[in-house]
């Protein structure tokens, strides 16, 4: 009985720290696009002055600046060809599958948004496919992604935050 409770706790913990969709094996075929963040080119460290940026960008820097000394570093935004139309139009109508990636190039990590029945699922993978989702509150848990990506309704449309520049 006791053992069963512990096993359940371990399983539930693992569930909460796991990515919500599978690794997009074909991510290298996604096209890089120009957005506000892609134009800046990197996520800075915690001492950067980001006071002129929109609040969602300030929160993004605050969430990730301490991940590594000096900040997460170089980034690019990748969009799957199947999602190019929805991404460009910002109409929130995404096809099933992995659609958009925030590629943390220096960290070799992929933040992946995947859609199922037009609902966004969030995942974190290393470039070579290891699930790198973290605990809730670490910034690397799907719940953390969802909180920010749905918390700025004036900014993000059905999971998509940026637009093309
Ligand atoms: C505190 C806010 C915040 C959190 C937390 C956050 N994001 Fe984002 N995300 C953003 C912003 C802002 C952009 C737009 C950046 C740009 O200008 O391209 C973005 C962009 C993206 C993109 C590119 C497509 C788009 O929506 O513009 C993906 C994919 C993405 N995030 C996935 C994730 C995943 C997966 C997580 C969790 C591990 C996550 N994000 C956590 C704010 C956040």
Greater model confidence, 154 or 95: 95
Neighbours of 90 (CB within 10 A): 15
105 near 72, Cβ under 8 Å? no
Regarding the beta carbon of 164 and ligand 1, being less than 6 Å apart is answered no
Q: Does a structural domain hold residue 11?
A: yes
Q: Is the pTM of this model over 0.85?
A: yes
Q: Does a structural domain hold residue 32?
A: yes
Domain count, the chain: 1
Q: Does a structural domain hold residue 162?
A: no
User: pLDDT digits over 29-88, tens only?
Assistant: 999 999 999 999 999 999 999 999 999 999 999 999 999 999 999 999 999 999 999 999
Q: Does a structural domain hold residue 106?
A: yes
Q: What's the CA gap between 24 and 98, in Å, rounded?
A: 6
Regarding the beta carbon of 43 and ligand 1, being less than 6 Å apart is answered no
* Domain of 100, in residue numbers: 2-151
Q: Does a structural domain hold residue 158?
A: no
Q: How far is the CA of 145 from the centre of ligand 1 (A)?
A: 7
Q: Does a structural domain hold residue 165?
A: no
């Amino acid at each position: 009985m006791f053992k069963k409770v512990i096993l359940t706790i371990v399983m539930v913990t693992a569930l909460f720290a796991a990515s919500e969709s599978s690794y997009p094996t074909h991510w290298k075929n996604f096209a890089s696009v120009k957005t506000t963040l892609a134009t800046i080119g990197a996520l800075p460290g915690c001492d950067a002055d980001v006071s002129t940026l929109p609040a969602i960008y300030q929160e993004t820097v605050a969430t990730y600046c301490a991940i590594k000394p000096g900040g997460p570093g170089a980034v690019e935004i990748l969009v799957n060809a199947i999602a190019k139309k929805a991404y460009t139009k910002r109409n929130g109508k995404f096809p099933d599958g992995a659609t958009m990636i925030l590629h943390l190039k220096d960290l070799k990590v992929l933040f992946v948004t995947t859609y199922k029945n037009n609902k966004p699922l969030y995942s974190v993978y290393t470039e070579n496919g290891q699930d790198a989702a973290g605990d809730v509150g670490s910034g690397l848990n799907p719940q953390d992604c969802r909180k920010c990506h749905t918390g700025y309704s004036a900014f993000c449309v059905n999971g998509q935050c940026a637009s093309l520049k």
